[in-house]
Amino acid sequence: MARAWQLSFRAGPTDSTEGGALTTVGVEEEFHIVDLKMRDLAPFGPRILERLPGSAFSAEAMKAMIESRTLPHTEMAALQQDLVTARTTLAAAAAEEGCGVIASGTAPLMRVEDPVRADGSRYMRIEHTYAKLFHELQVCGLHVHVGVEDRDLAARALAWINPWVPALTALTAGSPYWLGQETGYASWRTLVLNRLPSAGPAPYFASADEYDLTADALVRSGTILDRRMLYYDVRLSAHLPTLELRACDAVPDVSTAVMIAALFRALVVHACRRASTGERPPDIPGPWLRAASWRAARSGLEGTLVDPFTMVAGSAHAMVEGLIGTVGVELAEFGDLDRVRAVSDALLAAGSSARRQRTIGRRLGLTTLVEALMATTKGQRTSAFSAEPKPLG
């Protein structure tokens, strides 16, 4: 992570998390790199990075992936423009190497031998620790950072955030293919990541010290190499004063990414307010949270989701509405309520990215699907993805 981003978060107006008025939000997007001729993965990340500004882009664990990151923003319009600029810049640099980029949880056209580990001793150690699991981490996510200066407050807030994370997973579900075949899941990426020992819903923490003790114990045991490998769905960032959402697939359209950023910021502020009162947090068993996460990965927006508060199955529409209703006050305070409702309503009507990917893949083939994903990632409107919600200004 660039030092400038660290300083921006620390210098930004993040001390108002309880009030919410100026809380900052930044986004990291991971992209698959694909060959423009064959439409399969291309391990040209290092070459493309040489053409890009280092402050906004970085390497990932696999050479066929690359990450972009925005500056922290307080306004969603500015965040959206930052994301558009990053995608446009990345697509242009990739094209010069004969490549395209797609924002999706998994790449539709992929072979067992495709993932190539990035250079560096850290990735070598991770590969040694996780063996075959590491080789299957050719998955891309949308990560959202929301500024919270008080780490104790952030740790306690996780208990209020966790129950709503499956709804965010469902809204972004867009990885129905693995190794060129349908998986039957809306978010196969979630299943891939949840095999790692430090992934999934975060447990309850009463303080930042308790959070850190757990992380340090995992490091000492050799289960993870460092705190950066604590892959909870929502975690305290290891290097920024933020809460970080990691449970979402990378999404083809910018409007969905911005909606998720707005929803997560509102959820963080709401949770911090609840935690700051000393109110008893929701006591939801870990198996219930994992069940809700699995159900969201399996169904996306097309089937039922599980309410972690009750373990009762209900419609995705009801769960999304429940989330928006819970954080409606915060969304309104930020001026984000209309944006979130417009984009979420469009998604609920059109279906998840996974559903639309399957439709294209079945009717037109996976090569056409990759072409549609590349076009949408660059911001082009395609007939294949005509149901995508229109970007909001």
pLDDT, tens digit (0-9, with 9 covering 90-100), for 277-313: 988 999 899 999 999 999 999 999 999 999 988 899 9
**What span, in angstroms and rounded, lies between the C-alpha atoms of 187 and 3?**
32
Backbone dihedral angles phi then psi of residue 218, each to the nearest 5 degrees: -65, -35
pLDDT > 90: percent of the chain: 85
Give tens-digit pLDDT for 308-367.
888 999 999 999 999 999 999 999 999 999 999 999 999 999 999 999 999 999 999 999
> Residue 1 pLDDT more than 70?
no
Q: How far is CA 22 from CA 74, 147, 266, in A?
A: 6, 10, 11
Task: Give the pLDDT of residue 238.
Answer: 87
**What span, in angstroms and rounded, lies between the C-alpha atoms of 275 and 294?**
27
Do 67 and 58 touch, CB atoms closer than 8 A? yes
Task: Give the pLDDT of residue 6.
Answer: 52
Q: Two tokens at 287?
A: 């198996």
Phi-psi region of 224 (alpha: psi -120 to 50; beta: other; left: phi over 0): beta
Q: What mean pLDDT do residues 33-53 have?
A: 95
Q: How confident is the model at residue 8 (pLDDT cuts 50, 70, 90)?
A: low
Instruction: Print the SS3 string covering the chain.
Output: CCHHHHHHHHHCCHHHCCCCCCCCEEEEEEEEEEECCCCCECCCHHHHHCCCCCCCEEECCECCEEEEECCCECCHHHHHHHHHHHHHHHHHHHHCCCEEEECCCCCCCCCCCCCCECCCHHHHHHHHHHCHHHHCCCCCEEEEEEECCCHHHHHHHHHHHHHHHHHHHHHHCCECEECCEECCCCEHHHHHHCCCCCCECCCCCCCHHHHHHHHHHHHHHCCCCCHHHCCECEEECCCCCEEEEEEEECCCCHHHHHHHHHHHHHHHHHHHHHHHCCCCCCCCCHHHHHHHHHHHHHHCCCCEEEECCCCEEEEHHHHHHHHHHHCHHHHHHHCCHHHHHHHHHHHHHHCCHHHHHHHHHHHHCHHHHHHHHHHHHCCCCCCCCCCCCCCCC
Task: Give the pLDDT of residue 24.
Answer: 96
Q: How confident is the model at residue 54 (pLDDT cuts 50, 70, 90)?
A: confident
Closest C-alpha among 51, 296, 316, 343 to residue 191: 296
Q: What mean pLDDT do residues 13-23 have?
A: 51
Q: How many CB atoms lie within 10 A of CB 7?
A: 10
Task: Give the pLDDT of residue 385.
Answer: 60
Give tens-digit pLDDT for 238-268.
889 999 999 999 999 999 999 999 999 999 9
| 11 Cβ contact list (under 8 Å, min separation 6) | none
Q: What mean pLDDT do residues 47-75 have?
A: 95
Cross-strand pairs, 30: 67
**Where do the domains of the chain lie, and which CATH numbers do they carry?**
11-24+116-377 (3.30.590.20)
| 192 Cβ contact list (under 8 Å, min separation 6) | 106, 136, 137, 139, 178
pLDDT > 70: percent of the chain: 92
Q: How confident is the model at residue 392 (pLDDT cuts 50, 70, 90)?
A: very low
Mean pLDDT of the chain: 91
Range scoring the smallest mean pLDDT among 19-33, 51-65, 90-104: 19-33
> Residue 14 pLDDT more than 90?
no
Give tens-digit pLDDT for 204-221.
999 999 999 999 999 999
| 197 Cβ contact list (under 8 Å, min separation 6) | 218, 223, 224
Task: Give the pLDDT of residue 115.
Answer: 87
Q: How confident is the model at residue 383 (pLDDT cuts 50, 70, 90)?
A: low
**What span, in angstroms and rounded, lies between the C-alpha atoms of 27 and 4?**
14
Give tens-digit pLDDT for 65-114.
999 999 999 999 999 999 999 999 999 999 999 999 999 999 999 998 88
Task: Give the pLDDT of residue 171.
Answer: 98
Task: Give the pLDDT of residue 53.
Answer: 87
Task: Give the pLDDT of residue 108.
Answer: 97
> Residue 128 pLDDT more than 60?
yes
Closest C-alpha among 350, 351, 356 to residue 373: 356
> Residue 3 pLDDT more than 60?
no
Q: How many CB atoms lie within 10 A of CB 296?
A: 30
